[in-house]
Structure 1
Amino acid sequence: MFNRIVVAVDGSKTSLKALDKAVDLQKLMPEAEIYIICVYKHHSLFEASLSIGRPDDMDIPDKVLSEYAREVVNHAKEVASEHGATKVRGFVKAGRPSKTIVKFAKEKKADLIVVGTKGTNSDKDGMFLGSVSHRVASNAKCPVLVV
């Protein structure tokens, strides 16, 4: 049924729940591949230059954020493997999360996107869906499972 499952992770508890669901689905369809993606917001050099604090060894925000995103993906891959996933690949992308996830799923010809209801930027506002999961569900060309 599903051959390529994209799972968006950001280090939040709900994104790890989404990953667990993707692993459960893969157990039902052993040929399915799981593509884990973490998207970080791109900062231009101009945005980086606006920082008030200027430490001597200041890293460009993109570098720091991409390294963190890579750690999130690697952790998610470990968790997926521990829970029995077999075919798992990890990706880090820069951009607006919702657009980047949808574009990535299209490029990979995904059959399903799995996202958490809310991610790391969510607050306790009583909303059922966070902005990223809402936009992904609204714009994806394939089914979206919101966990």
Structure 2
Amino acid sequence: MFKKILVAVDGSKSSFKAMDKAIELQKLMDTEIYLMCVYKHHSLFEASLSIGRPDSMDIPDKVLSEYAKEIVNHAKEQAKEKGAVKVRGFVKAGRPSKVITKFAEDKDVDLIVVGSRGTHSDKDGMLLGSVSHRVASRAKCPVLVV
């Protein structure tokens, strides 16, 4: 039924629950799992507006990209420990909902799996997270919100 499943991971518990659900699906059918972490692009101008200014300023995109790679690599390791096979990781910059849906379209993904709340969501969890909501409303394939 599903050949390619995209899982958005951001390091949150919710995103790892989404990954676990994708692994369950993979065990039921021959599918490939794409793990993706999207970081927000920051220009040097945006970084210069920061209140705190360190002596040497790293380019924010470089720092965020490295952190996103760590998240994806950790997720891949966890997925393999849980029995996943055919797992690939991706790191992209941009607005998460747009990047996720565009990637899914470009790669002919059959299912997108996202956590209901990400790392920047409120603690009460009463409403669907903004990224999961936008992905669900923009995607051209089914979206499973975990």
Alignment TM-score, normalising by the size of structure 2: 0.96
Superposed CA deviations along residues 72-108 of structure 1, whole A, max 9, x for unmatched, are: 0000000100010000000000000111110111111
Q: Secondary structure at the match of 1:39?
A: strand
Residue of structure 1 equivalent to 2:89: 90
Rounded to whole Å, the distance in 1 between the matches of 2:37 and 2:116 is: 15
CA deviation digits over 1:23-43, x for unaligned, max 9?
0000111x3110000000000
CA displacement, residues 17-68 of structure 1 (integer Å, 9 cap, x when unaligned): 0000000000111x31100000000001211121232222221111111111
Q: Which runs of 4+ in 1 moved over 6 A?
A: none
Is 1:100 the counterpart of 2:99 in the alignment? yes
Match of 2:62 in 1: 63
Q: Could you tell me how far apart the structure 2 residues matched to 1:126 and 1:84 are? A: 30
Identify unmatched segments of 5+ residues in structure 2.
Answer: none
SS in 2 for 1:145: strand
Q: How many angstroms apart in 1 are the aligned matches of 2:66 and 2:81? A: 23
In the alignment, the residues of structure 2 paired with residue 128 and residue 79 of structure 1 have an alpha-carbon distance, to the nearest angstrom, of 28
Query: Could you tell me how far 1:127 is from its partner in structure 2?
Result: 2.6
Match for residue 32 of structure 1?
31
- Which residue is equivalent to 2:115? 116
> Please, what is the CA RMSD of the aligned residues?
1.0
Residue 38 of structure 1 aligns to a residue whose secondary structure is strand
Q: Is the 8 A contact 2:117 2:125 kept in 1?
A: no
Q: Does 1:4 align with 2:7?
A: no
Number of residue equivalences: 146
Q: Which amino acid aligns with 2:2?
A: F
- Identity over the aligned pairs, expressed in percent? 79
Counterpart residue number, 2:20: 20
